[in-house]
Amino acid sequence: MANSTQNLTNERLGSLYRTMQVIRQTEEELARCHQRGLIHGACHTYVGEEAIATGVCSHLNHNDVVFSTHRGHGHALAKGMPPKDLMAELFGRSTGCSQGRGGSMHLFSPEIGMMGTSGIVGPCILQACGGGYSSKILNNGTVAVAFFGDGAANNGAFHEGLNMASIWKLPVLFICENNQYATEVPFSYASGNPSVGNRGSAYGIPGFELNGNDVLEIYRVAGDAVARARAGQGPTLIECKTYRTRAHAEGMGDFTYRTREEVEAWKLNCPIAGLRKSVGVGNYDLARSAELVERFDQIDAEVAELVKEARDYAESSPVPVAETATNHVYGPQLGPVQDPVGPSSRTISFSQATLEALSEEMAINPTIFVMGEGIGKRGGNFVTTKGLYDLYGPERLCDTPICERGFVGLACGAAMTGTRPVIDFMFADFVLDGFGEIVNQIAKMRYMSSGRLKMPVLLRGCIGIGHSAATHHSGSYYGMYGQVPGLRVVVPSSAEDAKGLLKHALRCDDPVLFLEHREILQAKGPVIEGDFEIPFGKGRIVRQGRHVTVVALARMVHLVSSVSDELEREGISVELIDPRTVSPLDTDLILESVHKTGRLLIVDEPPGQYGFSAEIAARVVDEGFNDLDAPIKRLTGAFCPTPYSPSLENVMVPNADQVLAAIRELMSE
Amino acid sequence: MQKITIPRLGWSMEEGKFISWLKKPGDLVSVGEPLFELEGEKSLQEIESVEAGILYIPADAPLPGEIVPVGGLLGYLLEPGESPHSHSQSTPEPAARSFTGHDELAAAVVKANETSLGKSPTEIDRPENLAHLPVASPRARHLAKQFQVDWSSLQGTGRDGRIRESDVQEASGRGAAGRPSNNAKQGLGTISPRRKAIADRLRASRDLTIPVTLTTTIDATELVHLRQRLKHSNPRLVPAYTDIVACLIPWIYKSHPHMAVVWDTQHKGLIPVPHDQIHIGIAVDTPDGLLVPVVQQVGLKSLQTVTQESRKLIEQARTGRLPKTAMQGGVFTITNLGSYGIEAFTPIINLPEIAILGLGAIRREPVVMPDGQIMARDRITLSLSFDHAAVDGAPAASFLRDIAAAMADPAAYILNSVH
C-alpha cells in the first residue's frame, strides 16, 4: 500500500475514502432501517467489500457501464448514484432509483451507466460482454464492468462470457468479489480451483488475484485494466479476495456456516480503516498525514449528514401509485405504420422475404448486428443471412461459439447499451439454454428499470415438426413465451407477413421472439417490394367464411387452407384467421369472427396443454360466450416429445383428415 | 326463486309507477318475455323478464297504479317444483294465504311437478328434475331473448338435442341473418322492441316539447381544411364532423347558460349542466334503427379522445353491442344527415335535453366574398331544434350563431384546447 499511496493526490485519496465511507454509512443505515421494518424485502449489504467498487469505479466515467449482482448497493453508490435514490428504492418509494419496481436486487440508473443489478447469479457477466460489444459496434470507447461474486465464478455464464470477451477482445473488466461464501456455501468447498484470478489464462486473458480490502491496490490494477480495455486490448479478470462482515442478507442467521471469530478477524481488516492507516506518519511526512486525517474526519461528518438526509428523503417520499403497477411492461406503441401498397405481382419464398427485411433494415440502421452459429460467411443454416457478411462485415455478422446462454445474455447487455442485436438461434430448441436470460433478464429489463432501458432484441429461429428432425430440432414453445410479460411473440405463416413483421420487429423497442416454421420456409407468396411494416397484435383473415371460425398459426394456416375448398363444396364455409402474433394476441378479430359464425376451432401444432389454443378458448368463453352456438374445439399436437421415425412423427401433428373431421364434427354440435 | 324488482330506466329515476302485469300468476315466464308495464321518468315501458320461472305474486305486492321505488319488490319467479314456502325468510307472507289467495299458482306448481315426475312436491328430486330441461347454446339463448322466443319449449337439432341458433331462428320465423323472413304471418303487423322504444321516445318528445327549428348556412371551408389536416397527421384516427362539433359545444355552453340545461326527471324544472358533465349524444343509424350513444364528459376530453370514444360507441351501436348505459345521460345531441345529401331538416329533441343540432351536407358553392369576388367555398347548413318551453327564440338563435361562428373557424377552439 505504501508504494502506491504516494503517487496519489490528497484529492484522489479523499475521494476514494469518501466513496467507501458513503457505502459503509449508507449500508449501516439501511441495516438499521431493515431492523425497524422500514425496508420491505431483502437487503444485501456490501459492508466490508467497499474497496472493490470504489477502486474500480474511480476509473469510470458516466458513459462506462456497470452490470452488477444481488449485492450491488456499493456498485451503484460508487458509480455515482446518490444515497437518497438507493434508500428511497429500498423503502419502496416512487423516488427510488428503480421507481419502486426493483428493491435491493434491482437497482437501475442507466443515466449514469449503472445498468442494473440482478437477483440471478451470472447474467451480469454476459451483459457486460454485451456492453463491450456495443462499444465495438458504436465505436464510442466505453468500457463495461461486471461485478460478481465467487458463486458466479463457478457458473456457466463465467465460462461463456470470458470466452466470448476473449475471442472478440471486448473492452470488459470482470471483477470477481470473492467473499468466500456463495450465500452460505464456502468457496473452498465449491471450487476445484482455489483461484479465480488464474482462470484468466484458461481464456487467454490477463488475470489478477488481489487483496480485495486494499483500495489502492485495486485502484492501481483496475486503472491498468481500464486503460487496456480502452486501447482495444481486450478484457481483464480481477479477483478481489474479501469478506462481507454482515450476514448474507439482513435478518439472516450468520453462524451456521462460519464462526464469530472469523467474522471478527475480518472486521479488523476493514478497508476503510486500512486506508486511514496507510496515510499515517509511517508513509507520509507529518504535515501531509495530518492534513489527510483532518480531511478524512471531515468526510466522515459530511457523509453522516448526507446519509441522514437520504434517509429523511426516502421516508418522506411518496409510494408509487398502485394504478401504475403494470406500466412499462412494453414500450410505447410505434408511430403510424406504413401500410403495404400491394398487392404485389412478385413472388418470393418465406426465407427470401425475411432476408430482404433484415438486409434492408441493416442498411438503414448501423446499430443492428446479428449473432449466431454459422451466420457469418456461411450465411446461416437456413440462409437467414446469406450475402450479408460481404455487405456489413464480421462485427455486424458475428459467428458465435455454441453458447446460447452466453450470446443471448450478451444480446441483453448490448440492447441495454444502445445497439440492436439479432440473435439467430437456428432452432427454438437450442435457445432454451438461454431461457433464463430471455425470461429473467431480457423480458423484465424495461419494466424493472421503470421504462428507462429499452430492450430491442430480436431472437429468431426455426420451430416445427417435420422431416424426422426429432425432438431437439422440432419444438415450437411459443405458448410458453406467450406467458412471459415483456416479450412479443411472432409466428408468421406467409412470406409477406414474415417480411412486414420482421421489419416491425427490427424497429420495435421491445424484445421479439420471431419464430419461423421450418416446413414453410420455402413456401412462396406475393411480397411487396420496398418498405412496409405489419404491426403486432393485428391478425389476418386468411379466408372469409360464414359457418365456422378456424384459428391457426404458421404451417397449420396452410393445412387448414388446403381443406377449406373441400368443405365449401360440402356447404361448410370456413373463416380462417391467422393471428400472426401470439403475444399480443388479436382477440378482437377472433371475437368478431365468432360473433359471425358462432363456432370456433383452433388448430395448433404444439401440444394443447396450457397452450395457445387454451388461451384463445378461454378468452372467447370470457368475452364471446353469448356468440357460441357450439362448444369450442381444439385440434392440437400430441402431448409428447417429437419422435424420429416417420411413422411415429406423422401422428404428432394434426393432418388434413383430422382438420376435416374436426370441422364436420363441430358443425354437427 | 328469483325476485322481480323495479328497474332503473334512466340515470336519475328513483321510483316508477307500476302499471300492470303482462303475465298471470302461475304463468311460465321465459327470459326476454314482457313481464310487466312500468312508467318511468320518460315513458311507459314493457319490462322484459331477465330470468325464467313461474310467476308468483305475493298478496302484499304493489297494485297497479302504485308508485314503487327502484329496487322495490313486485313478485317472484319460481323454478318448476319450487314452493314459495321453502324460502320463508324471503317470502313476505304465510304459506296458507299464498295458496288460498293464488289458486292458479298452486295449480301451476302442482302441474309442473306432476308433469315431470308424477310425485308430490316433497318427493321431487331437484337434479333429476333439472335434467329434463332442454339445453341451449349460449348463442341460441341470447338470440331467443332478442326475438322473445321461449327456447325451453323448442326441440333442438344439435348434439343430444342441444338447441342451436338455427332452431331459435326457425321458431321465430326469421331467416338466418337474424332478420324477419317472408314467412311472417300475413295480416298481422309486428314491431320490434327496439322500434317500439324509438317510437315511445319520439312520441314523448312530441307530447312534452314545443320544438322550433332554426337554420343557418355557414362557410365550412376552414372546417373541411381542419379535418383534412387532422387526417393528414393521423390517417388512422380521422375525426368525423360530428366529433369536431361535439368538441365545440362545451366552449359555446360557457357563454350560453340558458342553453346548457336539461329537464329534471319530473319534466317540471331545468337543471344546469356543469362543465364536467357535458355528455353529448350522437345519433347513429343502425340495422335495428336509430340509436343515440353518448360520449361522456366531452368538456374534459381532447378531440382525439372524443373521436376514439365515438368511433367505439358507433361500432358497438351498429353491431348491436351498445350497452344501455352508453345511451344515457346526454345533455345535447348531434345528428348528421349530410351523407344522404340532406341540407336542412327538423331534428326531434331527445328528452330530457332541450336542443339538438342537425348537420347537413357540405357542398361546394359560389360565394360572394367580402371583397366582392366570387369564390368556390364549402358550405353547410345547420338545423337547431330547441324546446321553446325551456328557452326563448333569441337566446337559441344566439346559441346557433355562436356555434356557426365556431364552426366557421374551428381550429382556434380545437387546436388550442388544453383539456
For residue A526, is pLDDT > 90?
A: yes
Q: Give the whole-number percent of chain A exceeding pLDDT 70.
A: 98
A31, amino acid identity: A
CA distances from A258 to A148, A183, A200, A249 (A): 21, 11, 29, 15
Q: Residue range B111-126: average pLDDT?
A: 42
A119 close to A43: Cβ distance less than 8 angstroms: no
What local confidence, expressed as pLDDT, does residue B9 receive? 72
Residue of chain B whose alpha carbon sits nearest to that of A667: B158
Residue A343: partners with Cβ closer than 8 Å, 6 or more residues away: A526, A528
B29, amino acid identity: V
B-chain CB neighbours of A629 within 8 Å are: 137-140, 158, 164-165
| CATH 3.40.50.920 domain range(s) in chain A | 540-668
Of the two residues B183 and B87, the one the predictor is more confident about is B87
Q: Does B170 touch chain A (CB under 8 A)?
A: no
pLDDT band at A270 (very low <50, low <70, confident <90, very high): very high
What DSSP character marks residue B139? Answer: H
What local confidence, expressed as pLDDT, does residue A235 receive? 98
What local confidence, expressed as pLDDT, does residue B397 receive? 95
What local confidence, expressed as pLDDT, does residue A337 receive? 66
CA distances from B64 to A167, A460, B18, B28, B197 (A): 92, 72, 5, 21, 22
All three cell numbers of A610: 396450457
Q: Per the CB < 8 Å rule, is B234 touching A336?
A: yes
Q: Which of A463, A347, A393, A483 is nearest to A136 (CA)?
A: A393
For residue B93, is pLDDT > 70?
A: no
Residue A147: partners with Cβ closer than 8 Å, 6 or more residues away: A52, A53, A56, A66, A67, A68, A69, A72, A75, A124, A175, A177
- Where does residue A569 fall: left (phi above 0), alpha (psi -120 to 50 degrees), or beta otherwise? alpha
Alpha-carbon distance A584 to nearest alpha carbon in chain B (angstroms): 20
B6 close to B74: Cβ distance less than 8 angstroms: yes
B382 close to B362: Cβ distance less than 8 angstroms: no
Enumerate the β-bridge partners of residue A459.
A423, A513
A140 close to A79: Cβ distance less than 8 angstroms: no
Q: Compute how many other C-beta atoms are within 10 angstroms of the C-beta atom of residue A651.
A: 12
What local confidence, expressed as pLDDT, does residue B133 receive? 64
Domain boundaries, chain B: 1-133, 134-187, 196-414
CATH superfamily of B134-187: E3-binding domain (4.10.320.10)
Instruction: Mark whether A473 is an active-site residue.
Output: yes
What DSSP character marks residue B213? Answer: E
Q: Which of A268-272, B14-18, B166-170, B295-299 has the lowest mean pLDDT?
A: B14-18
Q: What is the DSSP string of A126-142?
A: HHHHHHHHHHHHHT---
B-chain CB neighbours of A628 within 8 Å are: 137-139
State the Cα–Cα distance between residues A517 and B97, nearest whole angstrom. 74
Residue of chain B whose alpha carbon sits nearest to that of A621: B138
Write out pLDDT tens, residues A466-515.
999 999 999 999 999 999 999 999 999 999 999 999 999 999 999 999 99
State the Cα–Cα distance between residues A54 and B341, nearest whole angstrom. 78
Pick the catalytic residue from A75, A473, A504, A547. A473
CA distances from A416 to A160, A409, A503 (A): 19, 11, 20
Please name the member of A336, A595, A628 whose beta carbon is closest to the beta carbon of B137: A628
B-chain CB neighbours of A535 within 8 Å are: none
Of the two residues B266 and A135, the one the predictor is more confident about is A135
Alpha-carbon distance B241 to nearest alpha carbon in chain A (angstroms): 22
Backbone angles phi, psi at B275, to 5 degrees: -60, -35
Please name the member of B138, B159, B234 whose beta carbon is closest to the beta carbon of A628: B138
Write out pLDDT tens, residues A202-227.
999 999 999 999 999 999 999 999 99
What DSSP character marks residue B242? Answer: H
Please name the member of A336, A626, A630 whose beta carbon is closest to the beta carbon of B142: A626
Q: Residue range A131-152: average pLDDT?
A: 98
Q: Does B159 touch chain A (CB under 8 A)?
A: yes
State the Cα–Cα distance between residues A483 and A611, nearest whole angstrom. 9
First to last CA, chain A: 85
For residue B98, is pLDDT > 50?
A: no
Q: Compute how many other C-beta atoms are within 10 angstroms of the C-beta atom of residue B179.
A: 10
Q: Give the whole-number percent of chain B exceeding pLDDT 70.
A: 81
| Beta sheet of B34-39, edge-to-edge order | B44-48, B34-39, B15-21, B67-69
For residue B114, is pLDDT > 70?
A: no
CA distances from A299 to A18, A20, A73 (A): 6, 11, 20
Q: Which of B321, B314, B385 is nearest to B347 (CA)?
A: B385
What local confidence, expressed as pLDDT, does residue A628 receive? 96
What local confidence, expressed as pLDDT, does residue B202 receive? 87
Place of cell 416512487: A94
Is residue B21 helix, strand or coil? strand
Q: Does B319 touch chain A (CB under 8 A)?
A: yes
Q: Residue range B54-69: average pLDDT?
A: 87
First to last CA, chain B: 50
Please name the member of B138, B165, B235 whose beta carbon is closest to the beta carbon of A336: B235
Q: Per the CB < 8 Å rule, is B236 touching A336?
A: yes
A107, amino acid identity: L
Backbone angles phi, psi at B140, to 5 degrees: -65, -40
CA quadruple A539, A543, A547, A550: dihedral positive or negative?
negative
For residue B79, is pLDDT > 70?
A: yes
A-chain CB neighbours of B235 within 8 Å are: 336
Of the two residues A138 and B145, the one the predictor is more confident about is A138
Q: Which of A330-339, A413-422, A643-652, B117-126 has the lowest mean pLDDT?
A: B117-126
Of the CATH numbers 3.40.50.170, 3.40.630.10, 3.40.50.720, 3.30.559.10, which one belongs to the domain with range B196-414?
3.30.559.10
Q: Residue range B267-285: average pLDDT?
A: 91
Write out pLDDT tens, residues B408-419.
988 888 765 544
Question: Which residue of B135, B139, B321 to mutate against A (max A Cβ within 10 Å)?
Answer: B139
- CA geometry: angle at A432 spanning A366 and A132, to 5°? 35
Q: Per the CB < 8 Å rule, is B164 touching A629?
A: yes
Please name the member of A336, A627, A668 whose beta carbon is closest to the beta carbon of B139: A627
| CATH 3.40.50.970 domain range(s) in chain A | 2-315, 347-526
Q: Give the whole-number percent of chain A exceeding pLDDT 90.
A: 94
Summary mean pLDDT of chain A: 95
Is residue A439 helix, strand or coil? helix
- Report chain B's C-alpha Rg in angstroms: 27
Q: Compute how many other C-beta atoms are within 10 angstroms of the C-beta atom of residue A563.
A: 18
Q: Does B231 touch chain A (CB under 8 A)?
A: no
C-alpha dihedral, A348 to A352 to A354 to A357, nearest 10°:
-80
A-chain CB neighbours of B319 within 8 Å are: 595
Percent of chain A as helix, strand, coil, to the nearest 5: 45, 15, 40
B-chain CB neighbours of A627 within 8 Å are: 138-139, 142
Of the CATH numbers 3.40.920.10, 3.30.530.20, 3.10.180.10, 3.40.50.970, which one belongs to the domain with range A2-315?
3.40.50.970
What DSSP character marks residue B34? Answer: E
CATH topology of domain A347-526: Rossmann fold (3.40.50)
Of the two residues B341 and A367, the one the predictor is more confident about is A367
All three cell numbers of B120: 308430490
State the Cα–Cα distance between residues A84 and A442, nearest whole angstrom. 28
Q: Per the CB < 8 Å rule, is B139 touching A668?
A: no
Alpha-carbon distance B121 to nearest alpha carbon in chain A (angstroms): 34
Q: Which of A493-497, B6-10, B107-111, B191-195 has the lowest mean pLDDT?
A: B107-111
What local confidence, expressed as pLDDT, does residue A101 receive? 96
Write out pLDDT tens, residues B2-41.
888 888 776 567 888 898 999 988 888 887 788 998 887 6
Residue of chain B whose alpha carbon sits nearest to that of A596: B177
A207 close to A199: Cβ distance less than 8 angstroms: yes
A-chain CB neighbours of B138 within 8 Å are: 625-629
Write out pLDDT tens, residues A552-567.
999 999 999 999 999 9
Q: Which of B60, B36, B64 is nearest to B50 (CA)?
A: B36
Q: Write a three-state SS string for A80-105.
A: CCCHHHHHHHHCCCCCCCCCCCCCCC
Q: Write a three-state SS string for B104-129.
A: HHHHHHHHHHHHHCCCCHHHCCHHHH
Q: Does domain B1-133 have CATH number 2.40.50.100?
A: yes
Q: What is the DSSP string of A498-517?
A: HHHHHHHHTT-SS-EEEEEE
pLDDT band at A535 (very low <50, low <70, confident <90, very high): very high
Alpha-carbon distance B293 to nearest alpha carbon in chain A (angstroms): 21
Question: Which residue of A600, A626, A667, A669 to mutate against B (max B Cβ within 10 Å)?
Answer: A626
What local confidence, expressed as pLDDT, does residue A402 receive? 97
Q: Per the CB < 8 Å rule, is A629 touching B139?
A: yes
Q: Which of A121-135, B131-145, B271-285 has the lowest mean pLDDT?
A: B131-145
State the Cα–Cα distance between residues B137 and A382, nearest whole angstrom. 48
Summary mean pLDDT of chain B: 81
Alpha-carbon distance A127 to nearest alpha carbon in chain B (angstroms): 39
What local confidence, expressed as pLDDT, does residue B124 receive? 38
CATH topology of domain A540-668: Rossmann fold (3.40.50)
Q: Per the CB < 8 Å rule, is B164 touching A668?
A: no
Alpha-carbon distance A611 to nearest alpha carbon in chain B (angstroms): 25
